[in-house]
Amino acid sequence: MDLQKNMKKLAKLENVDILKNLNSNVKIKIWHKIVGGFAIMLAIIVFVSTLAIQNSKKVQSRVGKVRKASMLYEEIQNIAINQQNFLIERDSKYVTEVQMANLSLMNDIDIARKSHKDPVDLDALAKVKKDVEKFTEKLQVLSRAQQNGVLTDEMVKKASKELKGDLDTIHESIEGYMKTQEKKLEALYKFNRMIGYVSLILGVI
């Protein structure tokens, strides 16, 4: 009898040890899963935060490019006004104003080109620069004719049409460049919103 009782006690003790070991293993596995889950979440948060910071810098850069594009457009408008004044009043001082505005515009275009890497943007700015130079050269020819006293009404009438066509081309080029910058800025804002939603979801989780 004593032997049977001892055997039963021993069996119970063995069962208790087994249960303790099982509980210990389960706790370790759960702990590993919790730590692993937190590590994964932390890695995702760090990744998303890094993307958000990088994209914010891109947004700031693109906003600056949009502002520069708007400034270039205003400078072209100034050139157009002085060109029109020259054709009306036939005073060479307006050509001088065009030349000064042209130098400022060329400088700003070169600065804008340095901030770009996209070949499409670089080509667009190069085209604007080339078109403005062509326009200014034609105006200088008229100015020399005016100074030499050989500028006729027929020459002014013909040049007016040509210069208007050149200005339209310049406006189309700069407007195309501006719209490209605005579209890229809009794409960055959309990406930022998406990152914000992902961050919000991760925060809830």
Query: How many Å is the Cα radius of gyration of the chain?
Result: 37
What does the pLDDT look like over 60-98, one tens digit per residue?
777 777 777 778 888 888 888 888 888 888 888 888 888
Neighbouring CB atoms inside 10 A of 177's CB total: 25
How far apart, in Å, do the first and last CA atoms of the chain sit?
60
- State the Cα–Cα distance between residues 103 and 193, nearest whole angstrom: 40
- Residue from 127, 92, 91, 88 nearest 109 by CA: 127
What does the pLDDT look like over 115-138, one tens digit per residue?
878 888 888 888 888 888 888 888
What is the enclosing helix (H) or strand (E) of 148? Answer: none
What does the pLDDT look like over 134-145, one tens digit per residue?
888 888 888 888
Rounded mean pLDDT of 28-40?
65
pTM of the predicted structure, to 2 decimals: 0.61
- State the Cα–Cα distance between residues 79 and 72, nearest whole angstrom: 11
- State the Cα–Cα distance between residues 139 and 82, nearest whole angstrom: 10
Angle subtended at Cα 72 by Cα 66 and Cα 73, rounded to the nearest 5 degrees: 90
- State the Cα–Cα distance between residues 204 and 198, nearest whole angstrom: 10
- State the Cα–Cα distance between residues 126 and 109, nearest whole angstrom: 8
Residue type, 156: V
pLDDT band at 27 (very low <50, low <70, confident <90, very high): low
- State the Cα–Cα distance between residues 111 and 129, nearest whole angstrom: 12
User: Is 50 exceeded by the pLDDT of residue 45?
Assistant: yes
Tokens representing 57 are 């810098």
